[in-house]
Structure 1
Amino acid sequence: MCMISVDVVLSINMSPRENRRQTRNQIRGPHSALTDFLAANNISAAQIRDDHQRRLRDAERQTTGEVLPSQSEDGSRESPGDSSEQSKKRRRNEATTLAKIKQSKEFARRKARRTDPKNDDDLIAREMMCERSRPVPGQLDNCEICSKRFTVTPYSKTGYNGGLLCTRCSKSMKDDAKMAQAKKQGARISRRQNQSNLLDGVAQQGALSLVEMCIKKVADNINDIEEFGDLPSQLLRRLSQILSKRRALDPRTLNLFLRPELDTIDIYDSAKLETHDFQKIFTSMPALVNVNLRFAGQIKDSVFEYMLGRELKIKRLQLDATNLVSDSYWRRLFKILGPQLEILKLSNLDFSLNDETVKVMCGCCTTLRRLKLNQCWKIGDDSLQALSSLNSLEHLSLDLTRETKNESILEVVSSIGPRLRTLSLEGFPNADDELLQVIHHSCDSLRKLRLSNNSVCTDKGFRRLFTGWSNPSLEFVDFSSMRDLDNSDLDSPEGVIGLASEGFVSLMEHSGTTIRKLNISSCRHISRDAFEHVFSGGKIYPNLRELDISFHTVMDDYLIGKILQCCPAIKKLVAFACFNVRDVRIPAGVALIGGLKAQGTIVFEGTS
Structure 2
Amino acid sequence: MSRNNVRGPTSALTEFLRASGITPTTVAARRAAAEQEQQQPVAGPSGARGGEDDDVEMADGEVDAEEETATPRRRTRGGGRASAATGATYDSDDLDDAAEAVEKAATKKRKLSKAAEAKLKAKEKAKAKKKKKDEDGDYDDDDDDAEDDPYRALSTMWGGKGGASPAKPPVGSFEPCAKCGNQFTVTRYTMAAVPGPGFLCHKCAKATGNDPFKKPAAVKRKKVPVDRRTVVNFEERRFPTLASICIQLITKHIDDVESLGDIGALNVDAISKALSKNRALTPQNAQLFYSVTNTSLTFYDATNLTSPALETLIHLNPHLTSLRLDFCGHLNDTAMHTLSASLPALAHLELLGPFLVRPPAWLALFQSHPALATFRITQSPRFDRACVAALVGSAKGTLRRLRLREVGQMDDGFLRELARLERVEELDLGAPGNAEACSAGALQRLLEAVSGTLRVLDLSRHVLLTDGALRDGLAAARAVEALTLREVPLLTDGGVAAFFGAWGNPPVRVVELGRNYALGGKALEAVMRHSGERLEVLGINGWGGEGMGEEALRTVGRLGRELRKLDVGWVREVDDFVVKGWMEGEGEDGDEDAEGKSKGRANGRTAGCPRLSEVKVWGCNKITARCPKKKGVSIYGVESHTAI
**TM-score for the superposition, normalised by structure 1:** 0.61
Task: Give yes or no for contact 2:320–2:343 (8 Å, CA) kept in 1.
Answer: no
Task: Tell me the distance in 2 between the aligned counterparts of 1:312 and 1:535.
Answer: 49
Alignment partner, residue 580 of structure 2: 561
What pairs with 1:4-153 in structure 2 (closer than 5 Å)?
none
Q: Offset at 1:284?
A: 0.6
Alignment partner, residue 282 of structure 1: 314
Q: Offset at 1:243?
A: 0.6
Task: Tell me the distance in 1 between the aligned counterparts of 2:550 and 2:335.
Answer: 58
Task: Give yes or no for contact 2:451–2:474 (8 Å, CA) kept in 1.
Answer: no
The one-letter code sitting in structure 2 at the alignment partner of 1:422 is V
- Tell me whether 1:454 sits opposite 2:481 in the alignment: no
Alignment partner, residue 238 of structure 1: 270
* Residues 1:530 and 1:204: Cα distance change in structure 2 (over 3 Å): closer
**Pick from 619, 627, 638: which aligns with 1:577?**
619
* Residues 1:312 and 1:598: Cα distance change in structure 2 (over 3 Å): farther
**Pick from 387, 392, 408: which aligns with 1:362?**
392
Aligned length: 383
Alignment partner, residue 335 of structure 1: 367
Q: Offset at 1:532?
A: 4.5
Task: Give yes or no for contact 2:429–2:459 (8 Å, CA) kept in 1.
Answer: yes
Cα deviation, 1:352-411, whole Å, max 9, x if unaligned, reads 101121111111122100101111111111001100000110111111121211111111
Task: Tell me the distance in 2 between the aligned counterparts of 1:598 and 1:235.
Answer: 42
**Pick from 481, 487, 512: which aligns with 2:532?**
512
Alignment partner, residue 513 of structure 2: 479
Cα deviation, 1:405-425, whole Å, max 9, x if unaligned, reads 111111110111111011111
Task: Tell me the distance in 2 between the aligned counterparts of 1:228 and 1:203.
Answer: 33
Alignment partner, residue 571 of structure 2: 552
* Residues 1:598 and 1:238: Cα distance change in structure 2 (over 3 Å): farther
**Pick from 276, 283, 292: which aligns with 1:260?**
292
Task: Tell me the distance in 2 between the aligned counterparts of 1:222 and 1:586.
Answer: 39
Q: Offset at 1:317?
A: 0.2
* Residues 1:204 and 1:254: Cα distance change in structure 2 (over 3 Å): farther
Q: Offset at 1:590?
A: 1.4
Alignment partner, residue 59 of structure 2: none
Task: Give yes or no for contact 2:441–2:469 (8 Å, CA) kept in 1.
Answer: no
The one-letter code sitting in structure 1 at the alignment partner of 2:333 is D
Cα deviation, 1:223-259, whole Å, max 9, x if unaligned, reads 3211211122121111111110111111122111111
Task: Give yes or no for contact 1:436–1:461 (8 Å, CA) kept in 2.
Answer: no
Q: Offset at 1:311?
A: 4.5
Alignment partner, residue 504 of structure 2: 470
Task: Tell me the distance in 2 between the aligned counterparts of 1:204 and 1:212.
Answer: 17
Alignment partner, residue 127 of structure 2: none
Task: Tell me the distance in 1 between the aligned counterparts of 2:254 and 2:404.
Answer: 34
Identical aligned residues as a percent: 23
* Residues 1:204 and 1:217: Cα distance change in structure 2 (over 3 Å): farther
- Tell me whether 1:392 sits opposite 2:423 in the alignment: yes
Which runs of no fewer than 5 residues in structure 2 stay unpaired? 1-230, 585-607
**Pick from 353, 378, 389: which aligns with 2:383?**
353
Cα deviation, 1:294-317, whole Å, max 9, x if unaligned, reads 111111111111122224201110
Task: Tell me the distance in 2 between the aligned counterparts of 1:556 and 1:277.
Answer: 52
The one-letter code sitting in structure 2 at the alignment partner of 1:355 is R
Please state whether the residue corresponding to 2:377 is helix, strand or coil: strand
- Tell me whether 1:596 sits opposite 2:639 in the alignment: yes
Q: Offset at 1:274?
A: 0.8
Please state whether the residue corresponding to 2:360 is helix, strand or coil: helix
Cα deviation, 1:513-538, whole Å, max 9, x if unaligned, reads 111111110112252144344046xx
Alignment partner, residue 534 of structure 1: 555
Q: Offset at 1:447?
A: 0.5
Task: Give yes or no for contact 1:505–1:530 (8 Å, CA) kept in 2.
Answer: no
* Residues 1:252 and 1:598: Cα distance change in structure 2 (over 3 Å): farther
Alignment partner, residue 520 of structure 2: 500
What pairs with 1:192-271 in structure 2 (closer than 5 Å)?
203-271=235-303
Task: Tell me the distance in 1 between the aligned counterparts of 2:238 and 2:449.
Answer: 51
Cα deviation, 1:59-97, whole Å, max 9, x if unaligned, reads xxxxxxxxxxxxxxxxxxxxxxxxxxxxxxxxxxxxxxx
The one-letter code sitting in structure 2 at the alignment partner of 1:576 is W
The one-letter code sitting in structure 2 at the alignment partner of 1:509 is R
**TM-score for the superposition, normalised by structure 2:** 0.57
Task: Give yes or no for contact 1:263–1:288 (8 Å, CA) kept in 2.
Answer: yes
Task: Tell me the distance in 2 between the aligned counterparts of 1:225 and 1:532.
Answer: 53
The one-letter code sitting in structure 2 at the alignment partner of 1:209 is T
